[in-house]
Amino acid sequence: MKRLTKLADLNRMANTLRKDVIEMLTEAGSGHSAGPLDLADIATALYFNVMKIDPKQRDDPDRDRLYVSCGHTAPIWYATLARAGFFPVEELKTLRKLGTRLQGHMDRLTVPGVESSSASLGQGLSISCGSAYAGQMDKKNYQTYCILSDGEHDEGSVWEAIQFAGHYHLQHLTAIIDRNNIQIDGPTEEVMTKEPLRDKYEAFGWHMIDVDGHNIEAVIDACNEAKAIVEKPVVINAHTIPGKGVDFMEYDFRWHGAPPGKVDTERGPAKSKQSAEALKQLRTLGGKIDNGDL
């Protein structure tokens, strides 16, 4: 797998992943839009620059591990794995189809590159703690990453895992929060107050880094900073825009669990035109360029 070092190439890959997500969801007629779109930059940074992984050596005991706790964001991770060479890109169109490997939530037994199956929220950080603790016991230097939604911080199991990681000083554990401020029932702070996240994590012995989750260079820098912190686990609080890249989806919690064509929106096209409009915006970066071949 080719590591991308130029910012232009990384941004181009993130945009490609967003287009993949829209095409997959449109074909499936179901699935989540907001989270997968806003995680594209983070996914690009991890798989195409930061992580030590190789699709030809998926079981390398020294590989870095990524555990996705918010399993409903599966489309962006399928797109990323396919573009990274873990399975054919053409298979993306089978999302949520009968008999597919690409289910609504990821299955580690069937999808190459998936480290853990996902369904109920709040479990991924506990699994990640087990991975990091095992590496610490075996004196391994692989890095364990965990993608968390902000909404799943409503779950008590998340806080038990946070406490565990701080207590055992899991130095090779980096959690990344998709801080997009929405969940399926509305804005996160209205559903269940999350803040002050920094104070809470630091009280449990973590180091927190705040970052713009759409600045790929900043995400890479934060991940590299996390590797240099050896006395405690690190959490990257990545501030993101739900539905990033599609203007009529951005900031709107109704797109949390809906694909194009399923939401009546006051600031977007009719349902029948939503997919085409979303792809047009992504091809032209919101009208900033005329050439659709990014």
What is the pLDDT at residue 18? Answer: 97
- The Cα-based distances of 12 to 1, 52, 85, 222 in angstroms read 16, 21, 17, 21
Q: Is the pLDDT of residue 294 over 80?
A: no
Report helix angle 274-283 to 7-28, nearest 10.
170
What is the pLDDT at residue 291? Answer: 44
What is the pLDDT at residue 290? Answer: 47
Mean pLDDT over 228-257 rounds to 95
pTM of the model: 0.94
Could you read off the pLDDT of 17-31 as tens digits, one per residue?
A: 999 999 999 999 999
Q: Which residues does residue 63 pair with via DSSP β-bridges, in sequence order?
A: none
What is the pLDDT at residue 119? Answer: 77
Give the whole-number percent of the chain exceeding pLDDT 70.
97
State the Cα–Cα distance between residues 213 and 241, nearest whole angstrom.
Answer: 8
Could you read off the pLDDT of 41-53 as tens digits, one per residue?
A: 999 999 999 999 9
Q: Is the pLDDT of residue 107 over 80?
A: yes
Tell me the two tokens of residue 186: 């509305």
What is the pLDDT at residue 273? Answer: 94
Q: Give the chain's domains with CATH numbers.
A: 7-283 (3.40.50.970)
Q: Is the pLDDT of residue 145 over 90?
A: yes
| DSSP strand pairing (65-68 vs 144-149) | parallel
